[in-house]
């Protein structure tokens, strides 16, 4: 497989010209120049209200609708009116759980994990007010995985929803969501997947995921602070409207977008798909746009795996370091999001040392607070997290390793 031309890739991200080593990408990735250009251009040429009969309004309406079609293509949604957009994953999850509230009956069971970001936990737990019984699918302390056997013990004929993450933003592990979907559907339940930590590293395919709801944020995928929630049409149609009383409840996705979408950010985000398509084409891929995007992600994975392996093998060799997650990259088992703790050291000390080298890493619970508590890591300040993107280089990882050598010890 041809490898990524990192010089060309990095030229797409103006911020990478600075001396900062960006290794907090799971917090937020750098933004593509073409995405920023599209937002800028939209604001200066197309800022009118949509849906009127005059030409500028028609033009802007078509732009926003075409952006939605492009996002649908990016995630492989069968219908573009299944694509709900909003400011953040957290906000979209509150929209979703609010819309589900009237359909929850006492005794309905909802399973959440203790490894997820709180965005995919808190809204579900609030459904207790309608009588929902919340069950927790807990991380296995030996494997640091969510084990399917444990899920099987929680599933019953009353399971209404299971909410889980596709990839953990702390452990880096990838969960077998399609297999989970099969088991959840077998008992008549539905599956909601948080794809925030997955989408920057693999091509999202909502259909292959088996999920009923799939959600992620574009600011982790080279775009602005904006997010998408996909749900299958039959499910979305069954929900009540959260929009004005005169908006037809059959009007997808508008009924779940009170206040409407952000026009310029929608238009900007379509540039992410164009970038992926162009990278795939530059690698010699042919076929459909999604096939080209897949080639781009294949090349990202190859490169990211090598970067992750470089840091993991360094950390694994240190007797005072505990990697919180898989310590090897194997068969797509993990993302290049690597968390660790150093014996006897508060995690903040490690990160502050990185500041001196202009290396952007961070420590904490990353809003996966239940996981950090379950692992007993709060007193240490949570984990140190190094999260890579496809535009990082081996030289940057070596610069980080040089910095860590000083603070962890050789």
Ligand X SMILES: Cc1ncc(COP(=O)(O)O)c(C=O)c1O
Which positions touch ligand X (CB under 6 A)?
26, 88-90, 117, 119, 165, 169, 194, 196-197, 217, 227
Q: Tell me the closest approach of the beta carbon of residue 27 to ligand X, in angstroms.
A: 6
Tell me if residue 110 falls in helix, strand or coil.
Answer: strand
In the bound state with ligand X, the residue whose beta carbon lies nearer, of 90 and 295, is 90
CA distance 305 to 138: 27
Q: In what order do the strands lie in the sheet with 383-387?
A: 321-323, 337-342, 383-387, 362-364
CA angle 53–58–60, rounded 5-degree value: 140
CB of 112 to ligand X, least distance (A): 13
**Other residues' Cβ atoms within 10 Å of the Cβ of residue 89:** 23
Q: Looking at beta carbons only, is 117 or 290 nearer to ligand X? A: 117
Q: Pick between residue 192 and residue 408 the one whose CB is nearest to ligand X.
A: 192
Backbone dihedral region for residue 301 (phi beyond 0: left; psi -120 to 50: alpha; all else: beta): alpha
Whichever of 64 and 93 has its CB closer to ligand X, that residue is 93
> Residue 256 or 279: which CB sits closer to ligand X?
256
Q: How far is the CB of 117 from ligand X (least distance, A)?
A: 3
Count other Cβ atoms within 10 Å, centred on residue 369: 16
Distance in Å, CB of 67 to ligand X, minimum = 18
The token pair at 60 is 């802007």
> Count of alpha carbons within 13 Å of 225, Cβ hemisphere only?
5
Rounded least distance, CB 37 to ligand X, Å: 23
Distances (CA, A) of 96 to 213, 261, 335, 370: 9, 15, 27, 22
For residues 194 and 396, which CB has a smaller minimum distance to ligand X in the complex? Answer: 194
| 216 backbone dihedrals φ, ψ, rounded to 5° | -160, 170
Report, in Å, the least distance between residue 369 CB and ligand X. Answer: 12
Least spacing, CB of residue 88 vs ligand X, in Å? 3
Distance CA 371, CA 387 (A): 18
* Of 226 and 295, CB closest to ligand X: 226
Distance (Å, whole) CA 103 – CA 120: 19
């Amino acid at each position: 497989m041809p490898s990524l031309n990192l010089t060309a890739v990095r030229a797409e991200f103006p911020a990478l010209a600075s001396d900062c080593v960006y290794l907090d990408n799971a917090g937020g990735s750098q933004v593509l120049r073409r995405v920023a250009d599209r937002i800028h251009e939209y604001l200066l040429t197309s800022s009118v209200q949509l849906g009127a009969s005059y030409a500028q309004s028609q033009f802007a309406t078509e732009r926003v609708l075409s952006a939605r079609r492009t996002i649908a293509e990016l995630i492989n949604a069968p219908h573009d009116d299944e694509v709900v957009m909003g400011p953040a994953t957290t906000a979209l999850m509150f929209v979703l759980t609010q819309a589900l509230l009237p359909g929850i009956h006492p005794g309905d069971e909802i399973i959440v994990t203790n490894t997820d970001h709180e965005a995919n936990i808190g809204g579900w737990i609030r459904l207790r007010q309608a009588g929902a019984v919340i069950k927790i699918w807990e991380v296995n302390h030996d494997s640091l995985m969510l084990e399917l056997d444990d899920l099987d013990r929680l599933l019953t004929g009353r399971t209404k929803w299971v909410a889980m993450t596709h990839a953990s933003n702390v452990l880096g592990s990838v969960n077998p969501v399609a297999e989970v979907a099969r088991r959840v559907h077998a008992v008549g339940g539905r599956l909601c997947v948080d794809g925030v930590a997955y989408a920057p590293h693999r091509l999202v395919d909502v259909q292959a995921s088996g999920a009923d709801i799939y959600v992620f944020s574009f600011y982790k995928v080279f775009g602005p602070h904006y997010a998408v929630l996909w749900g299958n049409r039959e499910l979305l149609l069954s929900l009540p409207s959260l929009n004005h009383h005169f908006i037809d409840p059959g009007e997808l996705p508008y009924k779940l977008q009170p206040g409407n979408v952000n026009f310029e950010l929608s238009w900007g985000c379509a540039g992410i798909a164009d970038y992926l398509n162009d990278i795939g084409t530059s690698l010699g891929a042919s076929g459909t746009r999604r096939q080209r995007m897949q080639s781009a992600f294949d090349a990202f994975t190859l490169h990211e795996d090598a970067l992750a392996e470089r840091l993991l093998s360094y950390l694994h060799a240190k007797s005072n370091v505990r990697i919180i997650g898989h310590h090897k990259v194997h068969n797509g088992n993990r993302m290049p999001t690597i968390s660790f703790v150093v014996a006897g050291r508060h995690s903040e000390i490690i990160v502050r040392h990185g500041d001196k080298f202009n290396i952007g890493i961070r420590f904490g619970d990353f809003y996966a607070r239940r996981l950090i508590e379950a692992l007993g890591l709060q007193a240490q300040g949570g984990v140190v997290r190094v999260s890579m993107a496809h535009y990082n280089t081996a030289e940057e990882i070596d610069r980080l390793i040089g910095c860590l050598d000083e603070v962890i010890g050789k």
